[in-house]
Structure 1
Amino acid sequence: MRSVYLKSWKKESKNMVEFKAERVLTRFGELSNKGKNRKLFVKQLIANLKAQLSAYPEVKYKNHFDRIMVELNGAPEDKVIDLMRHVFGIRSISPVVLCDADMDTITQVCLHLMQKEEACTFKVMTNRKDKHLPYSSDALNRSVATAILLNTEHKVDVHKPELKIKIDVDMEKAAISTRVVEGAGGFPIGVGGKALLLLSGGIDSPVAAYHIMRRGVEVECIHFAAPPYTTIQALDKVKQLAEILTAYQAKLKLHIVPFTDIQMEIYKQAGPDYGVILMRRSMMRIAEVIAENNKCLALVTGENLGQVASQTLQSMHAIEADVDMLMLRPLLSLEKNEIIDQAKKIGTYETSILPYEDCCTIFKVSNPVTKPKLKIVRLEEAKCDLQDKEEIALANIETFVFPSIEENYL
């Protein structure tokens, strides 16, 4: 009897119907560990999902205790999953196929799904929500496994399978998932307040933005432009980086500060060795005002300890000494190669290395101070007329909101 049944599966498997996912199962990341404020985290995650999937209004969301079920309602599975995997707060994602609850149909669907996978080891896991079903979990597991073994190159491994076939079944429907797509992890953006990132256009600062976003912090960006010494291409590069970051945060503000007059004043009046330090101090003062005006709680930079002269401990102390706002440096202890690898992973690297210099790289000095003394820094700064120029710069800021165009840079 069993041999006849197995042969029938070999015949039927050649003419299988295409089964498509109707839902996407979303598993929580770190917010699973939250207690009384868990509801707020989940609410924010659903809001972020809706924002990221705004192009698909037909998609619906159902919150369960430790997961969110996303109902596609005809929305394209692959595009929805690709957008979802960039949303922070999600540990993993699985497309779910729904079918009738009879054993033959479930077996057929599982075989179809596994025929699309590369050869691997697998395990079938059934959860019967209704114990009145006319078959046991073990019987269904065996039916599915047998059909797959006969018709594919997959092998069973119940201890350390490379792929798990998960079946949740009640009297009416079965929900089947085989794929697990890694999510972005972390916390939902918005639960950790808001911070202002100094976005230079280089490799480091977009990666710093990603790290801060991943901790649930909404990011706004500020960029210091120095035309005509910096080009329109350099500004376009920064805008493109902001656009790329909207893959992780649905809306992002970029504030452009005209910085030419301030830079020229510093390099005319102060000692050349202190130019970079004084320029960075001015940037921090301006950034602090913009941050306060936009209800940001911290400033964020892509600084990396010891990478350049302005990023020694002594330099960073001198730069932030007269700024009251909290400074966050998420890349402080990383090696450059680690930062480059992460830039490639998040999709910013190729844009960051475009050969358009920002105001920090154009006004280079041959021998910048690496261990500045704060007293001397302040004396050098006193030679410059910066207060009025900083107020003028603050009055002439341009603000852009991204995404500005319907384009995907990833």
Structure 2
Amino acid sequence: MKWDLILVRYGEIGLKSNYVRRQLIEKLKSHIKKSIEIEGVEEYKIESPRGRVFLETPSIEKSINALSYVPGIVSYSPCKTVEPEVASIVDMAMQISQDRLAENMSFAVDARRVGEHEFTSQDLKEIVGKELRVESGASVNLDDPDYTLTIEVREDTAYLFTDVYSGLGGLPYGVQGKLISLFSGGMDSPVATALMIKRGCDPIALYIDKGGFGSKKERERAVKVAEKLSRLTPEGLKFIKLDFEGIYSAIKDDADKETCILCKRAMYKAGERINEIEGAKGLITGESVGQVASQTLDNLMTLDESTSIPVYRPLIGFDKSQTQKISMRLGTYQASKEDVGGCPILPERVATVSDPMQIKETENKIKIDEEIEKTVENREVDLIKPD
């Protein structure tokens, strides 16, 4: 079946005031345009009558894939279109179903209307359902059908479809402003970043390069995962790298059980400086309560004390398996799970309850703020786009 267009549905955008809704829909249309162009779609038309967005293009399959990367879309369906007359709708329903509905299958017909017509939604269900049953010999099952044909009639056009693809949901990318994501490329930080993208945020990935305390594989993984994630951002993902080798060296020489907390606080402080430079509105981290020793409630409080800006932790109540499932759906899982080696300065025992006074004394001793300012001044900035 050669489909005519794709019907795109949004969710909470429709709950906004008229003024805000119009702005969000225009953002959504702009991002749809950019996403389908990335997939190589050249011929298209995007329209947005109330409650829906319609994408008309001969490149349906490419567009179906492209729409899966656009935040703000709840679902979408490739459609056939006909005039809103019963005879035309029945004829198209038969054409769509002839190769999809067999005698040994069950089916249902769903219908809804917007506007005034000479028939009701129930009329359509009964008339089309009867014709399909007679023609195919299939049985009706409204609870759990093998096949569902949906008819949506809107003013002067009827749209018929059989497939509903799930979208990312949420809000259009970037409408809430910028955030700085502490981005390692491991399992957690990309998922946390993606969840905030879905809520309308524009993330900047901040990668902490350990220098001699890390590995080339670790750096390559971060870039590879950022490339995957950049498919969700219409203009690419801004990627900032900070050289933390000197900071790691100083912490290694002057800390023991609280090494992890000192390192993470240094990242928070660096993130706050980048936040100020970029005009962002806070940090994103992939922390989850109790997942590792440095993420106990006591230690999270100590981390929060290191910065004056908001810290957003979308994974705070997730367990690892939940995060992994989202990572798989994002397409970042395989890259994120690569073994890049452990942290060479990880102490044998990590403090689960840190001593804020002791930590601040150590930070003052190693002049952490001065070291952070140096590394921020020498930051490397790149724009990551899909590979």
In the superposition, the TM-score normalised over structure 2's length comes to 0.88
Residue matched to 1:68: 53
Shift of 1:100: 6.3
**2:383 aligned partner:** 401
How many angstroms does 1:387 deviate by?
Answer: 3.3
Distance 1:278 1:170 in 2: 63
Larger Rg: 1
> Against the structure 1 CA distance between its residues 137 and 230, is the aligned structure 2 distance closer, same or farther, given a 3 Å change threshold?
closer
Aligned residues: 379
Deviation at 1:223, TM superposition (A): 0.8
Distance between the aligned counterparts of 1:389 and 1:153, measured in 2? 76
Q: Does structure 1 residue 123 correspond to structure 2 residue 109?
A: yes
> How has the CA–CA distance of structure 1 residues 306 and 128 changed in structure 2, closer, same or farther, with 3 Å as cutoff?
closer
1:1-400 equivalence runs, <5 A: 19-36=1-18, 37-55=20-38, 56-72=41-57, 74=58, 76-99=59-82, 106-114=89-97, 115-116=99-100, 119-125=105-111, 127=113, 131=117, 144-152=128-136, 154-157=138-141, 163-168=148-153, 174-250=158-234, 251-268=236-253, 270-357=254-341, 361-400=343-382
Cα distance in 2 for partners of 1:140, 1:313 equals 57
SS in 1 for 2:27: helix
Distance 1:348 1:152, change over 3 A: farther
1:117 and 1:198 mapped to 2: Cα distance?
50
Structure 2 distance, partners of 1:38, 1:174, is 25
Q: Which runs of 5+ in 1 are unaligned?
A: 1-18, 406-410
Structure 2 gap ranges (5+): none
Q: Distance in 2 between matches of 1:23 and 1:298?
A: 40
Cα contact 1:124–1:144 (8 A) shared by 2: no
> What's the % identity of the aligned pairs?
24
Contact 1:284 1:323 in 2 (8 A): yes
Q: Does structure 1 conserve the Cα–Cα contact (< 8 Å) formed by 2:82 and 2:158? A: yes
1:5 matched to which residue of 2?
none
- Return 348-357 or 379-388, whichever deviates more: 379-388
Counterparts in 2 of 1:278 and 1:138: CA distance versus 1, 3 Å:
closer
Deviation string, structure 1 residues 280-339 (Cα, Å, up to 9, x no partner): 111111111111211210101000111112111221222221311111111111122211
What's the TM-score, normalizing by structure 1?
0.84
- Gap change, CA 1:123 and 1:258, over 3 Å in 2: same
Change (3 A) 1:165 1:41: same
Instruction: Determine helix, strand or coil for the equivalent of 2:318.
Output: coil
Contact 1:127 1:167 in 2 (8 A): yes
